[in-house]
Structures are given as C-alpha cells and as structure tokens.
C-alpha cells in the first residue's frame, strides 16, 4: 500500500503551517485551469528528468486530477529514487475542490 492522505488531512497540515512540498503531475493546461495554491508543476512525463526538484528532506504531496497519475509518480519515485517522504493526495484535486476548497475549479 502506497502512502496517501485525504484532502482534509492535507488542508489541516497546511493550516498548521507545516513545510510541505506540493508537486502537481498533471499536464500544463490542467495546472493552468486549476491548482492548489503553492503547488509546483512537474508533469508525469517529465518526472524522470526532473526528480531532483523533489526535496527528500520534507514531506512531499503528489497531486493529479483523481489520484491515479500521482500514485504512479509516487511508486516511480519510491522505486527508482528511493524517496521515503512522499504522500499521494487521495482523490486528487477533484476531491480537494469538492471537499476543501470550492473556489478551485472542477473539471
């Protein structure tokens, strides 16, 4: 089982001011349409060449539309780069929009 957290858990951690890196693995046009404030775009297809941008020393939450691509990214980063600080946003930005921040557009 790969580690994940709910949108509510992520929101609570951000509200507490935890230093969390947010990596969005969607496509640029999806990211341009809606995103979680403070997230950084690294499309899934660029992850292999940009993995060094992920800070191994702080919690990192991977985000996509529904949680599938981000889970793939998490599995890849754990396996190939031996990162142990990763969490998948369960339900992706869609769940974030519905359950935490309705100002983030749904698509």
Q: In terms of Cα–Cα distance, which of 15, 25, 17 is closest to 86?
A: 25
Contact yes or no for 65/30 (Cβ under 8 A): yes
Q: Which of 36, 47, 64, 71 is catalytic?
A: 64
Report the chain's C-alpha Rg in angstroms. 13
Contact 43/28 with Cβ under 8 angstroms?
A: yes
Check if 64 is active-site. yes
* Residues labelled as active-site residues: 64
């Amino acid at each position: 089982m790969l580690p994940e957290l709910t949108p509510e858990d992520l929101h609570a951690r951000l509200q507490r001011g935890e230093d969390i890196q947010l990596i969005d693995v969607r496509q640029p046009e999806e990211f341009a349409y809606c995103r979680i404030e403070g997230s950084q775009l690294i499309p899934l297809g660029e992850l292999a060449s940009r993995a060094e941008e992920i800070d191994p020393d702080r919690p990192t939450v991977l985000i996509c539309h529904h949680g599938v691509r981000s889970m793939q990214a998490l599995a890849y980063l754990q396996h190939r780069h031996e990162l142990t600080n990763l969490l998948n946003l369960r339900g992706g930005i869609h769940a974030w929009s519905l359950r935490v921040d309705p100002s983030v557009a749904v698509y």
